[in-house]
Amino acid sequence: MNTNKTVITRFPPSPTGAIHIGNVRTMIFNHLFALQNNGHMVVRFEDTDRARSKKEFEPLITEGLAWLGITDFDQPTRQSERTHIYRSYIEKLIAEDKAYVSKEEPKEAGQRDTVIRFKNPNKKVKFNDIIRGEISVDTTDLGDFIIAKSLDEPIYHFAVVVDDYEAGITHVIRGEDHISNTPRQILIQQSIGASMPKYAHLPMVLGPDKSKLSKRHGSTSLQDLMKAGYLPNAVFNYLTLLGWHPKEGEEQEIFTPDELVQEFKLEDVQKAGAVFSEEKLRWINKQHLLKLSDGVFFSKVKESLPTEITNLPEYSENRLARLLPELRERISVFSDIKTMAEEGELEYFFEQPGYFAESLIWKKSDKISTKKHLESICKILSDLDEGDWEDKLSIKDTIWPYAETNGKGDVLWPLRYSLSGADRSPDPITLLFVLGKTESLQRIKEAISKLES
């Protein structure tokens, strides 16, 4: 057992599936608090529920931690492999008359007729919760509670106390749903001679309707967020804000994990439940996305583009690179790129659009003047050097005087339509810039020929 006073926190998930967002938040607080105190966090799998716990779920947990950038923990232990240890503690308690084998009336067929019960000393236990202050509970009502179904089947409360003791856990930081477990766990600690760790019970993570976050609210697991294309640092950032925020007057909401190690304060965690809002997470993700370097942003965009787009005839990385500023402005999460593709908002950048000539005509304008405007613009743009095409402002300066003189709608609508073939698309300057000189002129000429027929 670790006897020095280094801070050791713990993350003890049950490997029963994807990790719930609330548990991830709790894990992050344990991680931050340990780092702030030059300590470390222990990970263990609470897999004593043999029906629900599966080894194949363990990677969901370790991969989730790695995705968040948390890798500095030892190989996790498994409660299922520590039965002999729990057994020795139970035997000792029985020998010391602190626990006993109790004969029970089986409530249903097949049920055991003996269990192991703890001899409750029926006293008040007190602990000082870092978030909730002093809590005092009379344990008499708990009676002689069960600590094991048999010598080899300790229940959760017993295994947790033994594990925390043997790992030298100094701080138990966990969800408020465990607060009612604490008094009996303290009694068990006292019976095995363990000292009491410090406790911090964290507010629950709630859905928008203020009930505990669950499947019907949408995303509930870290895996859901990973799949949705959020950035790890944004998830780390947002989950830390579920129950904690900087002091009044400090409005900062965007933090890197390193900054959070500096700023986070366990004692400032709120008591009230924390509402998980996917909208807020999207906003935070966007702020992190805006800070990505062009290179990283580019490669993430490439990864996110569906093959329906990359297979288009005019697709090239060169053109994609010109589209990046527009995408950076438009998306909040990389998966939005797929949505844009599905909604037809990307394909015209990479293939000549199909449309009817009539769509080119703005409101009260007509075929003849629309054609005349497109011819004039085509001429003006032909005179613009390829070099000037690298700058949206010079493209704008080139066509703007003509548009202002001849009516912006009458000129810019057909120009935009000739380039995108869509009722809604970015402005014509952006389209000209992304498509480049050759393709833009080609599309305008195509529009002119449609108007001729």
Site of interaction with ligand GLU (CB under 6 A): 12-14, 46, 160, 174, 178
Helix, strand, coil % over all residues of the chain, rounded to 5: 50, 10, 35
Rounded CA-CA distance 25/237 in Å is 10
Residues for the chain: how many in total?
Answer: 453
Pick between residue 130 and residue 292 the one whose CB is nearest to ligand GLU.
130
Q: What angle do CA 71, 77, 79 make, to 5 degrees?
A: 145
What is the DSSP track for 204-272? Answer: PEE-TTSSBP-GGGS--BHHHHHHTT--HHHHHHHHHTTT----TT-------HHHHHHH--GGG--SS
Closest approach of ligand GLU to the CB of residue 16, in Å = 9
Nearer to ligand GLU, 160 or 228 (CB): 160
Nearer to ligand GLU, 63 or 253 (CB): 63
Place of tokens 């089947």: 153
Rounded to whole angstroms, the Cα distance separating 38 from 6 reads 7
DSSP 367: H
Q: Shortest gap between Cβ of 262 and ligand GLU (angstroms)?
A: 26
* Closer residue to ligand GLU in complex, CB, 182/370: 182
Tell me how far CA of residue 317 lies from CA of 52, 281, 306, 311, 321, in angstroms: 47, 30, 14, 12, 6
Residue 12: CB minimum distance to ligand GLU, A: 5
* Nearest to ligand GLU of 159, 403 (CB atom): 159
| CA 450 to centroid of chain Cα atoms | 49
Is the CB of 122 or the CB of 180 nearer to ligand GLU? 180
> CB of residue 124 vs ligand GLU: minimum separation in angstroms?
22
Least distance CB 32 / ligand GLU (angstroms): 16
The burial class, CB within 10 Å (0-12 / 13-18 / 19+), for 127 is: buried
Instruction: Report in angstroms how near the CB of residue 11 gets to ligand GLU at its nearest.
Output: 8
Work out how close the CB of 9 gets to ligand GLU at its nearest, in angstroms, rounded to a whole number: 10
In this complex, which beta carbon is closest to ligand GLU, that of residue 178 or of residue 280? 178
